[in-house]
Amino acid sequence: MDEIIPNGLDVYSKLVVRAAKIAGPATVNIDITGGRQRGPNPWMPEPGASASGVIINSKGFIITNGHVAQGARTIKVTLSDGRSYPAKVVGIDPNNDVALLRIGATELPVAMLGTSATLQVGQLVVAIGNPFGFQWTVTSGVVSAVHRKIRVSKDITLENLIQTDASINPGNSGGPLVNSEGRVVGINTAMLLGAQNIGFAIAIDPVKQGLADYLELEKPSLGIVGHAQIIDENVTKWLGLNQKSGVLVLGVAEDSPAERAGLHVWDIIIEAGGARVEDLDELVAVQDYLEQGHTVSFTVVRDIEIIKLAMQPVKT
């Protein structure tokens, strides 16, 4: 017979309640308008206007799914105490389906990030989020498997996923999957449509590694996180480009030269200072030039247009 806790809860219930009380206050509701969300497929439902996220530091940074934030026109974050704030997209990593948002608030409840490396099959986990708009819903289950891989689109395969039978539904996307200590071990991202209790979360360890790059945006720099990107052949033909790659912008820091110049997430930089840009290394010289007090011209591909921008010198 299970041990009975003095307050009337059995051991399992006590662990779930404790985890929910620790991580719940740092879980947020996210409402979006617009967006270029991933279309229907066997793994992920067509996203609605509501999702979830988790606060990771007191400066207002919030993790959610990339498919939640991608292309959103507006994003509103509601905290567990009822306060609401507009959010800005700091960066998106589509290959891991993770996005980093920021709100203008302080003294926030912050989630503790755990590790996914030591997760065991059968281990208790708790999912917290806003399925179908039912805010701050808690479901519990176990780690059903680790290192799962699913293909969610023609170009993107999510790897190293945690499979869980804790119920995950539309609206849970971006919310935390926590262990019995209330530490975040994954970010809920997908479910198998038509199945019973087959859900997936992004393992937190690679997310933490990626966050280190995004949070570097707080330091003086161009204010860009990105990577080399092949430009779609149809776009190059339409625009008459004679280059096949550029730098895809995945993150833009607040009040950075990049933001002040008007760079957007998903822009592809093809030229800077009159020189062709095909990878990140070719932006290093631009950083030095800005720090010397010069203005640098940028050419980017935005959707199917060529946009000209001017980046002002780095503030000191």
Catalytic amino acids? 67, 97, 173
What is the identity of the amino acid at 128? I
Residue 267 to residue 198: CA distance in whole angstroms: 35
Residue 69 to residue 50: CA distance in whole angstroms: 11
Cα-Cα-Cα-Cα dihedral sign, residues 181, 183, 186, 187: positive
Residue 28 to residue 7: CA distance in whole angstroms: 29
